[in-house]
Amino acid sequence: MELHKLESPAPNKKTRKRVGRGEGSGLGKQSGKGHNGQKARGSGKVAVGFEGGQMPLYRRIPKYGFKNFNRVAYVSLNLYQLAQAMDQKKVGTKITFDDLVKARLVDQNDKVKLLAHGDFDKKISIEVHKASATAKAKIEELGGTIVSLTKEEAPAPAPVPVKAKAKAETTEAPKAQAPEGVEEEPKKEVAEATPAEAPEAQAPEVVEEAPEASTDDADASAPTTDEESKDS
C-alpha cells in the first residue's frame, strides 16, 4: 500500500457529469434539460405546489383542526413509577417537586400530571401540578394527599363592547357630592306661569301730537291792539 495509490470506496466517489460537450456525448446541445423552456433556464424554477394553473392538491383537500399556542403540556407520572422509586429509596412518603427532579422522574421545567396506571398501596403526600380523577381517588383512599402546584387564576373580566364604552364616555359626569356633615339645601321649586295665568301684554299708548299751527292762522287768531285797528 502506497499513499499515492489510496482510493476512497466506490459509493463515496461521485463521478463528474460533463454536459454541453457535443451531441456525441449524449448530454450536448440542451445539456439534458430538454427543449428551451422555463425549466431550461438558470432561474426557471416553479413555485412549490404549482400544478400548471389547475387547482393544486393543497387547496383541494379541506382544512381540519388547529394548533393551540396556549396549550399547556404536562409530563405524565404514573403510580407504578412512584412505587419503583420508593422501592429503590429514591423518594420517601412525603414527595415534593424537588424530590421528583432529584429522582430524575421529571425535569425542573416540567409540569407534572399524576396518572393512575399500575399498582400502588402506600400512603404518600405528593406535590404535582395536576392529577387525574382516578389517581386522586386512589391516593385519598389510601389516606394520602395531593398538593396542587398550579395557582388558580381569577377569571378575566368580560370585555366591554365598543358601543357601550363610547356611550359611557359621552354621558355627563356625576355631580360632586357634599362633604359629610353638611346638609344639602333643598331645591326651591319655581312654579311656571301657565298661559292662562300669565298677565296679558298691554299695548303701548300712542300719543298723538297736535298739528303745528301755520303762521297765517296764528296771525288771524292773535288779538288786535287799538293802534292796529285805527291804522286799518
HSE-CB at 170 with a 13 A cutoff on CA atoms is 6
Q: Please give the single-letter amino acid code of residue 182.
A: V
* Residue 114: inside a domain: yes
Quick check: 82 and 103 in contact, CB under 8 A? no
Q: State the residue range of the domain holding 109.
A: 75-148
CB-CB neighbours of 112 under 10 Å: 22
* Residue 92: inside a domain: yes
* Residue 215: inside a domain: no
* Residue 24: inside a domain: no
Backbone φ, ψ for residue 54 (5° rounding): -75, 170
Tens-digit pLDDT profile for the chain (232 aa)? 899 988 887 777 778 899 999 999 999 999 999 998 988 988 889 999 999 999 999 999 999 999 999 999 999 999 999 999 999 999 999 999 999 999 999 999 999 999 999 999 999 999 999 999 999 999 999 999 999 988 766 667 777 777 777 777 777 555 656 566 656 666 656 555 555 555 555 655 655 665 555 555 555 555 555 555 555 4
* Residue 196: inside a domain: no
* Residue 69: inside a domain: no
Instruction: Check residue 232 and give its pLDDT.
Output: 46
User: How far is the C-alpha of 126 from the C-alpha of 108, rounded, in Å?
Assistant: 16
* Residue 135: inside a domain: yes
User: How far is the C-alpha of 129 from the C-alpha of 140, rounded, in Å?
Assistant: 17
Quick check: 72 and 66 in contact, CB under 8 A? no
Query: Cell triple for residue 26?
Result: 449524449
User: How far is the C-alpha of 232 from the C-alpha of 226, rounded, in Å?
Assistant: 10
51 Cβ contact partners less than 8 Å away, ≥ 6 residues apart: 57
Using a 10 angstrom Cβ sphere, with 0-12 exposed, 13-18 middle and 19 or more buried, the burial of residue 86 is: middle
| DSSP bridge pairs for 77 | 114
HSE-CB at 184 with a 13 A cutoff on CA atoms is 8
CATH number for the domain including 124?
Answer: 3.100.10.10
Backbone φ, ψ for residue 108 (5° rounding): -65, -35
User: How far is the C-alpha of 45 from the C-alpha of 48, rounded, in Å?
Assistant: 9
Rounded-to-5 percentages of helix, strand, coil across the chain: 25, 10, 65
Using a 10 angstrom Cβ sphere, with 0-12 exposed, 13-18 middle and 19 or more buried, the burial of residue 105 is: buried
* Residue 3: inside a domain: no
pTM to 2 decimal places:
0.45
The CA-based angle 116-121-126, given to 5 degrees, is 60
Instruction: Check residue 221 and give its pLDDT.
Output: 52
Give me the number of domains the chain comprises.
Answer: 1
